[in-house]
Amino acid sequence: MDILSKYNRNNIIKLIYTIIALIPIIYGFIFIYQYSTNIPMWDQWSSLVPWTLSFFEGDFQIKWIINAQNDSRAPFSFLIMIFFSLLSGLNVEILYLIGYIFYILSFLLIFFEFKKDIKNDLKYLFLFLPIIFYWFNPFYLTRYIYNLGGFTSGIIISLTLSTALILERSRRSNIFFGCSILIAVICSFSGAWGLAIWLLGIIQITLQKTQNKIYKIGLWIICSLCTFYVYYIGLGFREGGRHGTDAYTSYLITLMDYPLQKFLCYMGTIGSQIISNNEIALIFGILLTCIFIGIIKNNRDNLMLDRLSKWYALLVFWGITSLALTLTRSGNIGFLDFGPPDTIFWVPHFRHSPTTFFILVGIYIIGLFYLKNSFENFATIENKNKSIFFERNTLNVFFFGMIFTLLICGSTLNIGQGIDTGNKLERWGDEAQYYLLNYNNIDKKVFNSIPNYFPDNTTIFNKIKLLEKYQLNIFSKNQIEEEMLSLFGLGIDISHFQNNSSLTNYHIDYLNDIKDPIQQKTIIMDNSESTYVILKGWVVDSPNKSLARAVFISVDNEIIVPCLYLRERKDVASYLNNTEYVNSGFWGSVNISQLNEGNHTVKLKIVSQNENEYYQSDLININLKK
């Protein structure tokens, strides 16, 4: 009976543990679903979009994915990405979800390896829980709703961890060692920072007890040299620009000229795992480094280098990638767009978090193993000798408590920024979707107004036309039918609605650069200077005391174009004394290049919340001159 009771109790504890562990993982799916938008972002327009379109055009060339993209040469990641892009009709949201699944896989690799190392000891498994909440906190989740790295980052992390874990199992197996080399090569060609995998291997093989150590180190070095040769010389690599080999020289010169500044920036990079504040991150970075040094010094008589070789190797890997990030992005002599070379306070952009986030985790795990080992040793020695180990145990508890606190801080202090960034990306993504769906009515210059979404070139419009032609991405029929995109008025046919003569509150702030256009008698427009009518303002559904359902621009009652609605207007909520009106702003654009010369009328058609009628604004009279 006692055995059965104990068995049931253990199962209940495991169930509770599983539920707690699943909470942040499930939240990650919710976060990505909530804040991601099905819209290509920045570098996806020069890679994912043309590659996918080329399959439909029948002119795809494999060399495109082998060529360097910025600093990276990532054919393996790109092949997987293209496969899912073709499968999903270039649905970027699905690609982000797949990237997140790879991120979950990388976490599971760490979890089960840790579980094996501590031999399923429940009390230490519970001490692993903070890592789960840190790993899946909103700040790190934003990486998985942002450009190409939203897909590739999880792959590189998974490959890095797989290499270390397979090397751990290669002590007496040449097959496992060969597999680790293969995965290291794949990791190297999955993203620029994957090249640091070769240093990880050298460190791990050196620290762990393994058969034929000299032979393995030699073979590992030879394979790494071959990889670097193919990567930079055999396949060619750009020389100029901030992503070329010339820039690497600039970064090294900056390091030699400003060593103290670069060290402080590196401390800021390390501290950014805890908080993304330039000044405070520097303090946290120095504190975390001092704690790690204290742990090493306190356990110098028994560092367990063989047992912890993979954890030290992983720590070195992320230490190197963090250093490389610091040197290349914290300001340098040659490329001032990254900032001045004497920068002291600096934290990396959230999109670079995969290259930094594991340092805190690695130190936490290493500190936990030293704590566990010191307690086990303390319990086995004779009482007369316990005083010798008491101080070491006390310090291990102290250092672990410090790291535990920092890990909790890292899990909580960046939550607000992560959610805020998610909201911004969602809002910008909604605007970008509107621009794409109405690209014929949008001035090309406007496309560059959304941060980080559209490249600054006109070739994007040829790609947009092809996306529409092949019904890909936002132009997919399934996408439009499923979501209806009522934010933009899509799926709403106002021709069947009644015209409600009642008045509703609204204001048209601007027509192009003209303020309060309704107050103007007639606005003269030169078609040779501007072929677009752009309206900006706010509207609400006053009779129903709610926001409107959608807003349309009507030109001569013939051209009907939806506006982007639900933009933030806190001033309107304050003016009308109704907090529900905080998102009452609108922005819309109409291409008038096809209109005849002469007089025309422009007005708003405001769809009511119940979606069965619309209100009309006063007329704006324009006189179009050719």
Q: What is the pLDDT of residues 589-601, one digit of tens each?
A: 999 888 888 999 9
Taking residues 118-132, report their average pLDDT. 93
| Range with lowest mean pLDDT among 23-37, 63-77, 570-584 | 63-77
Are 351 and 493 in a shared domain? no
Length of the chain: 626
Taking residues 310-326, report their average pLDDT. 97
Q: Is residue 259 part of a domain?
A: yes
How many CB atoms are closer than 10 A to CB 528?
A: 8
Q: What is the distance between the alpha carbons of residues 216 and 207, in angstroms, rounded to a whole number?
A: 12
Q: What is the distance between the alpha carbons of residues 418 and 425, in angstroms, rounded to a whole number?
A: 11
Amino acid at 7: Y
Q: Is residue 434 part of a domain?
A: no
pTM: 0.91
Contact 596, 559 (CB under 8 A): no
Q: Is residue 435 part of a domain?
A: no
Taking residues 302-307, report their average pLDDT. 93
| Alpha-carbon distance values, 467 to 65, 450, 455, 560 (Å) | 20, 20, 16, 23
The predicted pLDDT at position 481 comes to 47
Contact 362, 296 (CB under 8 A): no
Are 63 and 188 in a shared domain? yes
Helix (H, G, I), strand (E, B) or coil at 164: helix
Query: What value does the mean pLDDT of the chain take?
Result: 90
Pick the last residue of a domain from 420, 448, 469.
420
The predicted pLDDT at position 487 comes to 67
Check pLDDT > 90 for residue 1.
no
Range of the domain at 342: 23-420
Q: Is residue 505 part of a domain?
A: yes
Q: What is the pLDDT of residues 206-257, one digit of tens each?
A: 999 999 999 999 999 999 999 999 998 888 877 766 777 777 888 889 999 9
Are 378 and 233 in a shared domain? yes
Q: What is the distance between the alpha carbons of residues 293 and 525, in angstroms, rounded to a whole number?
A: 70
Are 37 and 143 in a shared domain? yes
pLDDT band at 482 (very low <50, low <70, confident <90, very high): very low
Are 503 and 415 in a shared domain? no
Q: The tokens of 265 are what?
A: 């920036």
Check pLDDT > 70 for residue 389.
no
- CATH number of the domain encompassing residue 618: 2.60.40.650
Q: What is the distance between the alpha carbons of residues 83 and 62, in angstroms, rounded to a whole number?
A: 13
Are 255 and 173 in a shared domain? yes
Give the contacts of 181 (CB within 8 A, at least 6 positions apart). 219, 220, 223
Q: The tokens of 336 are what?
A: 């001032």
Q: Is residue 471 part of a domain?
A: no
- Tokens 């003016």 identify what position? 575
Instruction: Give the number of domains in the chain.
Output: 2
Q: What is the distance between the alpha carbons of residues 496 and 487, in angstroms, rounded to a whole number?
A: 19
Q: Is residue 427 part of a domain?
A: no
pLDDT over 70 percentage in the chain = 94
pLDDT band at 3 (very low <50, low <70, confident <90, very high): low
Contact 518, 508 (CB under 8 A): yes
Handedness of CA 488, 491, 492, 493 (dihedral sign): positive
| Range with lowest mean pLDDT among 73-77, 342-346, 442-446 | 442-446
Are 125 and 241 in a shared domain? yes
Check pLDDT > 70 for residue 149.
yes
- Tokens 């356990």 identify what position? 299
Are 210 and 86 in a shared domain? yes
Pick the last residue of a domain from 379, 398, 420.
420
Q: Is residue 453 part of a domain?
A: no
Are 223 and 321 in a shared domain? yes
Check pLDDT > 70 for residue 322.
yes
Angle between helix 358-380 and helix 309-329 axes, rounded to 10 deg: 150
Q: Is residue 16 part of a domain?
A: no
pLDDT band at 182 (very low <50, low <70, confident <90, very high): very high
Are 408 and 490 in a shared domain? no
Are 117 and 213 in a shared domain? yes
Check pLDDT > 60 for residue 446.
yes
Are 61 and 210 in a shared domain? yes
| Alpha-carbon distance values, 461 to 78, 464, 479 (Å) | 23, 5, 20
Residue 342 has phi, psi (to 5 degrees) of -95, 20
| Alpha-carbon distance values, 220 to 164, 178, 227 (Å) | 13, 10, 11
Ordered DSSP codes for 469-505: HTT-GGG-HHHHHHHTTGGGTTT--GGGSEE--S---
Q: The tokens of 84 are what?
A: 């899912």
Taking residues 402-429, report their average pLDDT. 94
Pick the last residue of a domain from 396, 420, 444.
420
- Tokens 């963090």 identify what position? 322
